[in-house]
Structure 1
Amino acid sequence: MNDALRLGLIRASGAWRYRWVGVTVAWVVALLAAAGLHFFKDRYEASARVHVNTQTVLKPLMAQLAVQPDIDQQVRMLARTLISRPRIEQLIDSLDFAEKQDGPRVRERIVNDLVAAIKLEGSTSGNLYTISYRDRDPVRARRLVETLVNLFVESSAVSKRRDSERAREFIDEQIVENEKKLTEAESRLKDFKLKNFGMSGATNQDFFARMATTSDEVNRLRLELNAAEQARDALKRELSSEAPQLPAEALQARAPMAPSELETRLDAQRRILDDLLRRFTEVHPDVIAARRNIAQIERQRKEESDAARNGARGMAPTNPVFQQLRVSLAQAEAQVASLRSQLGVQQGRLDLVRSQASKMPQVEAELAQLNRDYDVIRRNYQQLVERRESASLGIKLDDSAQLADFRIIEPAMVAPKPVFPSRSVLALAAVVASIATGIAAAFGMTFVFPALFDEKQLQAVTDRPVIGSVSVVLDSAGQRAHRWQMFQFGGTAGLLILASVAWLGWVVVSSRI
């Protein structure tokens, strides 16, 4: 402990030897620090806090009715794009950060400095954003923060309205295009159905079932026609074996003459025609055949009437059996003609269905493709129309009420004290640093130019025994010179301290707002 104390005293004695070097260094450092601090200005921080409330009452109520973007994501994106070059350039022009005569390099440097100086921080627990900026001019710092807050609040509504309008315009364009496609698809489907009438709209199973039904109907009509022809031939044979006239005795004993055979056939054909008209139209083959038979019987009756009147022909048949056979034969002929006509119609239908059977799979495939394309286009068109209505409702909702509520928790304010490090702190640090640097310089000289101050130090350096020491005794002139040197050093050091304290006080007073 004694050795350490002795070594410290030796170092102090050596530093005292170079006291003028320390004072000179302290003065130089103090003057340089004062000159540097003269160009340093205090910076003041302006800040504001904005809270964005995205959990409004309208949001759950309009969940299924209107288009609602991700408000939280939009707010985060607005916060990220708030400090962008276009906005910073607007701030430079509006807040006089640059002069009009400044070149592009100066403006570029100012923009980069502002981008680095403006801070936008968001909290992790909610949509709470803090905007801060430091500047030498507190008024300009506050105005810049106020402008950023206003841009942040206003840009949300403008951006959301612009996005909604763009979405509606895009949907309108798509609706027009899909409407054209839908019209073209409907035209193609209509033309295809007209071209393949009777085949389109039916599956293979329905088509072949119809063909089987038509074939069964043809077979049934053939059987009925065969039976009707056999019955007609039998009536012809019976009619040929029956005498048309009765003997005179039978005519005298007979009751008053019955209606003629042609009248009976005419009444029968008319009843058949009435029955057919109740079931079919005027253009039906059976109706046409019945009218043709009626016209033929009326023509025969007219001829017989004319022949009887002129005496050109013999007497009409008087045998009632013969007359009844002729009536039955006329009915059989009419039935045969009707069945033959029906068979022809059904056979034509069957031939048409069979000719179309080979085309049915291709027609069905083409129809399925057309229907599929039409359904897809129609579904897309309906969805676009629904989304357009939803977008329109969303725009009206944006105009009537904001889905995000921007609340300024703390308006733009400037802290009364400058940010660390202030000029006062730097001035105090400069005073302490100048004194510490002078002391360090004096101690450093003892290592650069070492000296011996006692016997033990000399013995340690030379490794030889020391016999004795000689003290220095100053006379009166030497004592006066020593006191003068001490006065000069004390005055110089005191002046340094007084100047440093005065300068520090001036800096503190001038740094107040």
Structure 2
Amino acid sequence: MDSLIAQLMAVFKRMWRYRWPGLIAAWLVGIAAAIVVFVVPDRYEASARVYVDTQSILKPLMSGMAVLSNTEQQVNMLSRTLISRPNVEKLVRMADLDLKATSKSDQEALIERVTRNLSIQTAGNSANNLYLLSYRDSSPEISKKVVASLLSIFMESSLGASRKDSTTAAAFLNEQIKTYETKLEEAEARRKEFRLRNLQLTQADGKDAASRLAEASNQLEAARLQLREAMNARDAARLQIETERKRSQPGTSLQSLMQESSQKFATPELDNRIAELKRGLDQLQQRYTDQHPDIVNIKRQIRDLEEQRKKEVADLQKAALANPVPTGGPNDSLANQELARILAAKEVEVAQIRARVDEYGARYASAQGAIKLAPQLEAEFAQLNRDYDIIKKNYQEMVERRESASLSTDLDNTSGVADFRIIDPPRASPKPVAPNRLMLLAAGMVVALGAGLVTAFAASQIRPVFHDLNELRHRLELPILGAVSRQETPEDRRRVKVDLLRFGVASGSLVSLYAVGLIGMAIWISRQAG
């Protein structure tokens, strides 16, 4: 603490050495500040209060049918953005402020000055929609004219902005509706083309691919069964004819007939099942060993079917031997003709059923191909329907919003955006509201004293002088061997007193002049107010 006090005392001593330059700077700044305070022109303020009524009886009635804009928010935003460059330029032209601005630089300075002096504030609570418009100028007539022009722009801008928004919204909705109409037509065309390419997905019977495949499989199996039955009947007729022919020939023995009949009798159904099982057995044997349960089961089925085939052949042979046809009789030719006729009929029936089997086989193959493509086609059709539904929904919403926007525009045109009520018309104050010369004069005195102190401090730092041995030792970091003191004479002491008196009178005169000026200014202001 002692060292800090010592440093402050050293600084004060150095500043005291340059007190006269500081005092001169204080006088110069004080005189300049006083001149500025008294030269600054008076400024008058004009103001107007306007109330914006955003309530309308039609809006609650049309709620849910029309898009009701937030009028309060629009007016609030308009009040915040009203002081923009285009509006200020329009204001300058309306108030004839641009008559004196001849050059471009003068116009820019005028716009900046008007923008700086304009003010739009909410009077009281912002929810009351009460706005205060004010402007300050050196002329009360000009300030009043500017406020009146600003009030006109404020009222016109709200209506123009609302109409512009409605027009822009209607144009945007019409453009979007046309776009969605095109998209909707394209989506409908894609669905139509898909249905024409894939008629199996939209058949009238309402059956899916799996049902059609099952039906085709059942029909094919039934047709194959009928074909096997017809082939068995045909083979029996053919065997009967061959038997009758052998019997009619001499030297035909019963043993030879039995051998031939065993070769002629056939069981195509069992043969086909045995062949299918053998093919499956071959495939399994390529993958598994003979001890695999599936292979053992198939071998057992093959043995059972072969035994069943042998039994059926034996039954056919017994039936042929039990009904022998006598040979050499007069009715042999008639019997042969009847058998030939039966055989021909069976051949025709076999051909017909074989054609049916081929047709059902083609249908079954087509159904198999369809069921393989069915998931992909159904997925594509679902995607087309999804896109179509989305586009249709957006299109309908756009149409509804266009109707709502049209109704909202008609509502705004009927009821208006807001009702502007001028509470206080534009009026300029008869007395200047600025500048506050009393405060400015006090600030000028403070600035003058501060300028003197700063000048003395700067001079002491530029040409420093050491007044203490400790400070000298600390700065130079060298040992001090001794000090030579100066012996003051009575003349020196008298000169110091005279100098101190002069400094006191000069500095006191500056403060006194400012004090007198402040007192006189206060009296003058009070008289004007009275």
Structure 2 length-normalised TM: 0.51
User: What is the aligned partner in structure 2 of residue 96 from structure 1?
Assistant: 96
Using a 3 Å threshold, how does the CA distance of structure 1 residues 68 and 448 change in structure 2: closer, same or farther? same
Output one character per residue of 1:276-326: Cα deviation in whole Å (capped at 9) or x when no partner: xxxxxxxxxxxxxxxxxxxxxxxxxxxxxxxxxxxxxxxxxxxxxxxxxx9
How far apart are 1:226 and its partner, in Å? 6.8
What is the aligned counterpart of 1:357 among 371, 377, 387? 371
SS of the residue corresponding to residue 399 of structure 2 reads helix
Counterpart code for 1:371:
N
Matches of 1:351 and 1:226, distance apart in 2: 21
What is the aligned counterpart of 1:198 among 200, 212, 215? 200
| 8 Å Cα contact 1:221-1:339 kept in structure 2 | yes
What is the aligned counterpart of 1:128 among 127, 130, 153? 130
Matches of 1:114 and 1:207, distance apart in 2: 81
* Pairs within 5 Å for 1:271-420: 346-420=360-434
User: What is the aligned partner in structure 2 of residue 156 from structure 1?
Assistant: 158
Using a 3 Å threshold, how does the CA distance of structure 1 residues 450 and 346 change in structure 2: closer, same or farther? closer
Using a 3 Å threshold, how does the CA distance of structure 1 residues 415 and 362 change in structure 2: closer, same or farther? same
Matches of 2:416 and 2:167, distance apart in 1: 16
How far apart are 1:71 and its partner, in Å? 2.3
| 8 Å Cα contact 2:49-2:131 kept in structure 1 | yes
Using a 3 Å threshold, how does the CA distance of structure 1 residues 116 and 346 change in structure 2: closer, same or farther? same
SS of the residue corresponding to residue 65 of structure 1 reads coil
Matches of 1:386 and 1:129, distance apart in 2: 37
How far apart are 1:214 and its partner, in Å? 2.9
Matches of 1:388 and 1:372, distance apart in 2: 24
User: What is the aligned partner in structure 2 of residue 75 from structure 1?
Assistant: 75
Matches of 1:162 and 1:450, distance apart in 2: 73
| 8 Å Cα contact 1:44-1:135 kept in structure 2 | yes
How far apart are 1:141 and its partner, in Å? 1.8
Matches of 1:105 and 1:173, distance apart in 2: 44
| 8 Å Cα contact 2:44-2:434 kept in structure 1 | no
Counterpart code for 1:106:
D
Matches of 2:112 and 2:378, distance apart in 1: 70
User: What is the aligned partner in structure 2 of residue 105 from structure 1?
Assistant: 105
Matches of 1:408 and 1:385, distance apart in 2: 40
Output one character per residue of 1:403-435: Cα deviation in whole Å (capped at 9) or x when no partner: 43322222222233332558xx87xx99xx9xx
What is the aligned counterpart of 2:172 among 158, 170, 177? 170
Counterpart code for 2:174:
D
User: What is the aligned partner in structure 1 of residue 147 from structure 2?
Assistant: 145
Using a 3 Å threshold, how does the CA distance of structure 1 residues 231 and 113 change in structure 2: closer, same or farther? same
User: What is the aligned partner in structure 1 of residue 257 from structure 2?
Assistant: none
Once the two structures are overlaid, the 10-residue window that deviates more, 184-193 or 340-349, is: 340-349
Matches of 1:57 and 1:348, distance apart in 2: 76
Q: Structure 2 regions of 5+ residues with no counterpart?
A: 1-26, 240-340, 446-497, 506-515
Alpha-carbon RMSD: 4.8
How far apart are 1:400 and its partner, in Å? 1.3
Matches of 1:43 and 1:150, distance apart in 2: 23
Counterpart code for 1:98:
D
Matches of 1:98 and 1:450, distance apart in 2: 54
How far apart are 1:402 and its partner, in Å? 1.8
Output one character per residue of 1:183-230: Cα deviation in whole Å (capped at 9) or x when no partner: 12221221111111113699x993212211332244345556777898
How far apart are 1:86 and its partner, in Å? 1.2
| 8 Å Cα contact 1:200-1:363 kept in structure 2 | no
| 8 Å Cα contact 1:75-1:156 kept in structure 2 | yes
Using a 3 Å threshold, how does the CA distance of structure 1 residues 333 and 153 change in structure 2: closer, same or farther? farther
Structure 1 length-normalised TM: 0.53
Matches of 1:406 and 1:221, distance apart in 2: 92
| 8 Å Cα contact 2:56-2:415 kept in structure 1 | no
| 8 Å Cα contact 1:44-1:418 kept in structure 2 | yes
User: What is the aligned partner in structure 1 of residue 189 from structure 2?
Assistant: 187
SS of the residue corresponding to residue 175 of structure 2 reads helix
What is the aligned-residue identity percentage?
A: 41
Counterpart code for 2:371:
A
Using a 3 Å threshold, how does the CA distance of structure 1 residues 78 and 220 change in structure 2: closer, same or farther? same
Matches of 1:107 and 1:385, distance apart in 2: 49
Matches of 2:503 and 2:77, distance apart in 1: 66
| 8 Å Cα contact 1:89-1:111 kept in structure 2 | yes
Matches of 2:215 and 2:501, distance apart in 1: 127
User: What is the aligned partner in structure 2 of residue 316 from structure 1?
Assistant: none
How far apart are 1:130 and its partner, in Å? 0.7
SS of the residue corresponding to residue 201 of structure 2 reads coil
Counterpart code for 1:198:
Q
Using a 3 Å threshold, how does the CA distance of structure 1 residues 343 and 128 change in structure 2: closer, same or farther? farther
Counterpart code for 1:62:
M
Matches of 2:88 and 2:173, distance apart in 1: 34
Using a 3 Å threshold, how does the CA distance of structure 1 residues 338 and 119 change in structure 2: closer, same or farther? same
Q: Is 1:448 aligned with 2:502?
A: yes
| 8 Å Cα contact 1:46-1:134 kept in structure 2 | yes
Q: Structure 1 regions of 5+ residues with no counterpart?
A: 1-24, 238-325, 434-443, 452-495
Matches of 1:183 and 1:387, distance apart in 2: 21
| 8 Å Cα contact 1:200-1:367 kept in structure 2 | no
Output one character per residue of 1:20-69: Cα deviation in whole Å (capped at 9) or x when no partner: xxxxx9xx98xx86x975x6544332211122233433333333222233
| 8 Å Cα contact 2:41-2:138 kept in structure 1 | yes
Matches of 1:191 and 1:175, distance apart in 2: 24
Output one character per residue of 1:64-88: Cα deviation in whole Å (capped at 9) or x when no partner: 2222333232212211121111111
How far apart are 1:345 and its partner, in Å? 5.3
| 8 Å Cα contact 1:58-1:403 kept in structure 2 | no
Counterpart code for 1:397:
L
Counterpart code for 1:94:
M
Once the two structures are overlaid, the 10-residue window that deviates more, 45-54 or 103-112, is: 45-54
Matches of 1:401 and 1:445, distance apart in 2: 84
| 8 Å Cα contact 2:173-2:398 kept in structure 1 | yes
Matches of 1:449 and 1:73, distance apart in 2: 65
